[in-house]
Structure 1
């Protein structure tokens, strides 16, 4: 059932809806993974890594809202439920227990890298059917790449 009818043709809408849903799942999981590590990070760089993780959480939450609202604007119901996120995320699970600061940085660099790879695929897949959604993916990717760079530099 469509509450809002998209101006996109059905085939294009399917492509864009899949990209938006995948992005939503990845962003929700990225926020969860970063928060889990944030709560459990230990080590001499605790404070700086702890604060840096919250920056990722804030970005992921903001972007997930943008992505979900774009889906809604196109008449696609976004699904951010826990079971959906667990089944569809491209991120490895967060480490359990206490996480040494250097391991936390590595885990976040890996998680960001996984999301960025999938976002770049979404940029490509939405170029023709919906440049508006593509623009959102470009902005999200640029922001995530900045975080990725900073986490990689942390362990250089």
Structure 2
């Protein structure tokens, strides 16, 4: 094993910071932008609203979720599916999409989210199916481009 003697006499390898690959960062930014614009659209159409949100006098959407929560969740999602084959990825995307209406109902119970009377939680399932598919395809395209 190749080791280097450092000034302090240690023969340990220097600790290297792990950097987040560009494909993750780009995918997180895309997810944040898509999430923000979709929330702005649906809130503007009065299909749902966010009663509890930071800076409510400025933003009609929960900006904390779209700028912090969503990118972190997308990073976790991408880390989970990065080692799967195409059927595994499809299964995880479908599973997460089916879970999202449950999380949405929970957010409603907490008062974070309110839907219009005509909203169907099936819309959420299909929306996340499309959203996660777009993010996955984008991520894989960026990862191939940078490898």
TM-score norm. by structure 2 comes to 0.37
Q: Where is the helix percentage greater, Structure 1 or Structure 2?
A: 1
**Computing the radius of gyration over CA atoms, which structure comes out larger, 1 or 2?**
2
